[in-house]
A = this chain, B = another copy of it.
Amino acid sequence: MTRKEQKEERRKNILMNALRLFVERGYYDTRISDIAEAAQMSTGLMFHYFESKEELLTELVRMGAEGTKAAGREMGDIPPDVYLTEFLRRMFSFAKEQPWVFNMFVLMGQVRRAGMPEEARKAAEAVDTVERTAKLIEQGQKSGVFHKGDALIMSRCFWASVQGIMEEMAMDKEMKAPEPEWIVAMLKAGSGDED
């Protein structure tokens, strides 16, 4: 293994430990020394790999933002409701196998909301899932599978729900995932108000 590869390995290892600890204990309650210990190195060495604790966080958020770009890609001829349902199903099952996905959701949520360094927040804003889903919802409204209403608000509520549920699942890894249909039902025609 070349020097460069080794460094990459090490960085990845640090990042994964940091992610877990940031979510388990919170960013501010996680000491650089905790991360160092988890990654089996001295505190000082951390600064050989990352300039600062904040850079560590920002790097994680960048990864998270990158990851969400997968959402809402080519959907071929599938109807929007089926697409969203299927997307959620895959996301839940993927996350069950890769628990860091839950952690990433939690971290992104925390960062977007408040109480995190400025730079990290900026990195988290480079995510347009809500906008893209709103377009999908508009299509569904035209075809009648989704009820009427401001598509952007509907999309925000949809993702806020998903966010909340992912966070709940992140807290309790034993928790059974909901049926994706339940969540998509929020958008469907015939679900109460029909204005």
Contact = CB atoms under 8 A, between A and B. Distances in A.
Kindly name the residue among A27, A163, A190 whose own CB sees the greatest number of chain B CB atoms within 10 A.
A163
A113 B167 contact: yes
Contacts of A99: none
* Size category of the binding interface on chain A: 35 or more
A179 B167 contact: no
Contacts of A186: 161, 182-183, 185-186
Contacts of A106: 113-114
Kindly name the residue among A114, A167, A193 whose own CB sees the greatest number of chain B CB atoms within 10 A.
A114
A35 B184 CA distance: 42
A153 interface: yes
Copies of this chain per assembly: 2
A162 interface: yes
A164 interface: yes
Mostly helix, strand, loop or mixed at chain A's interface? helix
A188 interface: yes
Interface string A116-149: 1000000000000000000000000000000101
Interface stretch (A7-15, A45-53, A68-76, A168-176): A168-176
A79 interface: no
A52 to B, nearest CB: 16
A192 interface: yes
B179 A193 contact: yes
A160 interface: yes
Given A27-B115, A114-B23, A115-B110, A176 B160 contact: no
A31 interface: no
